[in-house]
Chain A
C-alpha cells in the first residue's frame, strides 16, 4: 500500500474533528490544563533543556569525581524542592486545622504527592552517585536513614488520604499526619551537622561556597527547573484532587440521569410525565 487515504493520521485534507466539538466537551478534554499551566509548563521545559545542556555538556567534569558529579544538578534541587513541597504540606495542614476550608486540605495533599516523587528522584540519583564515589549504593548513616524515613512517612500520608476517601474526617486526620511527618524535615537537613554521616555536609552556605562558577550556575538552573516543575505539577495535581472530590457527586447525578433516561425510553405514552415518577422509585 503506497498511499493511505483512509488513515486519518496521514491525511491532512480532513477537517479536524475537535474543532466541531461543543465547548463543554473540549473543556473536558483539556482536563486540568489551562493557559497558566501551559505557560508554566513551557517555561519548565525550556529550563530543563537548559539544565541538561549545561549539566551534560557545557559544565566541566569535577576534578576528583569526574562525570558522576553531574548527578548533583538533579540530586540537590530535587532534595531542596522536596523540603519545600513537604513544608507546603505542613503549612496547608496547619491552615486547614485553623480555617477548615477545602483549599488548604487539597493544597497539602497535592504538595505531598509532588514531594514524594521528588524525594524518590533524590534517593535514586543519590544511590547512582554513591556507587562510583563511595563504593556502595546505600549506607545507613543519619542523612540517608532520615531521608528514607521522610519518603516512607509522606508515602504513608498519601496512603492515609486514600484510606480515608469518603470519610468526613479525612481532611482533619490527614492534616494531623502531615504535620507529624514534617517534623522529620529539619532532622534530615541538620543530620549532617548533628551526627557523623558518610553523606557530605553543606556545599553552599552564606559563609562558604565550595563550588566553581559554571558548576554553581548549572546548579542554579537545576533549582529553577525543578521549582517550575513543582509549580506545574502542583497546578495539575491540585485541580485533579478538586475534581476527584466531586467525582462521587457527579457519579450520583449520572446514576439519577441514567434512571430517568431509562424511564423516558420505557414510557412510550408520555416520557416527560413518566420520567420523574420512575426516578423516585429507582
Chain B
C-alpha cells in the first residue's frame, strides 16, 4: 500500500497538525482504512438484525397475510358460506340494527342483538368482556365466534369504525343503519 504523501500535504501536517482536506478520490481497498475491527463488529450486529427481520418478514407473509385477506365475512357472506363454515371460529361483520339487550354478569357481559349487511340479518348472542365504549345501535362491528344453529355465538366484539369524521352530526349513526339495508 502506498502511503507516500501527496504534494502539499506535508506542510499542513507538519505545521499545526490540522487534518488535511477531504480527499474525494476513491480508495482501492476499503478494508485498509478506518478501524476494521470496529466495523466488523458493527457488521455482525447488523447482519444478525437483518436475519431477525428476514425471519419476521417471512412469518408475516406466511402466517398472517393469508388470513388477513379474509379478515372477516360480512353477514351476508357468512350466511352464504354457512355450510362450509360449520362450527369453525371466524369473524363476522355487520351493523348493529337494534338496541342490544345487555346483562351484567359481574366479570363478563351478556348481550343479544342483530347485525345486518347487504339486507341480510344475523341474530347474535354475546358473552365476554365488556364491549368497547362505541358498541351501540347503528355502529358497524366485527364479532369473533362461530355459528350456533341459526344464531352466531360470539365472545369478542371489535368496533369497526367508518371513514366518517364529523364535528357534530346527529344523523351520522342513522346513516350507517340505512346503509346496512341497501
Closest to A145 in B: B68
Stretch in A37-45, A47-55, A104-112, A256-264 touching the partner: A256-264
Stretch in A12-20, A117-125, A130-138, A229-237 touching the partner: A130-138
Q: How many residues of A contact B (CB 8 A)?
A: 73
Q: How far is the CA of A95 from the CA of B6 in the complex (A)?
A: 35
- Interface pair A280/B4, CB less than 8 Å apart: yes
Q: Report chain B residues within 8 Å CB of A280.
A: 3-4
- Interface pair B64/A140, CB less than 8 Å apart: yes
Stretch in B79-87, B98-106, B126-134, B147-155 touching the partner: B126-134
- Interface pair A148/B60, CB less than 8 Å apart: yes
Closest to B61 in A: A149
Asked if A250 meets B22 with Cβ closer than 8 Å, knowing A166-B31, A196-B74, the reply is yes
Q: How far is the CA of A214 from the CA of B27 in the complex (A)?
A: 57
Answer whether residue B88 sits at the interface, using C-beta atoms and an 8 A cutoff. Answer: no
Which chain B residues in 141-162 approach chain A with CB under 8 Å?
142, 157-162
- SS class, residues of chain A in contact with chain B: helix
Asked if A251 meets B33 with Cβ closer than 8 Å, knowing A149-B57, A152-B60, A198-B160, the reply is yes
Answer whether residue A159 sits at the interface, using C-beta atoms and an 8 A cutoff. Answer: yes
Answer whether residue A160 sits at the interface, using C-beta atoms and an 8 A cutoff. Answer: yes
Q: Report chain A residues within 8 Å CB of B27.
A: 248-249, 252
Q: How far is the CA of A6 from the CA of B55 in the complex (A)?
A: 57
Chain B interface residue bracket vs A: 35 or more
CB distance from A236 to the nearest CB of B (A): 19
Asked if A198 meets B142 with Cβ closer than 8 Å, knowing A162-B46, A249-B27, the reply is yes
Q: How far is the CA of A272 from the CA of B68 in the complex (A)?
A: 72
Answer whether residue B172 sits at the interface, using C-beta atoms and an 8 A cutoff. Answer: yes
Closest to A259 in B: B3
Chain B 58-75 interface mask (CB, 8 Å, partner A; 1/0): 001100110111111110
Chain A 208-234 interface mask (CB, 8 Å, partner B; 1/0): 001110110000000000000000000
A-side residues, CB < 8 A to B, are: 24, 59-65, 69, 72, 132-136, 139-142, 144-146, 148-149, 152-153, 155-156, 159-160, 162-163, 165-168, 194-198, 200-203, 210-212, 214-215, 246-257, 259-261, 264, 271-272, 275-276, 279-280, 282
Q: Can you give 7 A-B contacts (C-beta < 8 A)? A: A135-B134, A146-B68, A149-B61, A249-B24, A249-B27, A253-B19, A257-B17
A-B pairs with lowest CB-CB distance, top 8: A135-B132, A162-B46, A251-B34, A60-B167, A159-B50, A252-B33, A141-B71, A156-B53
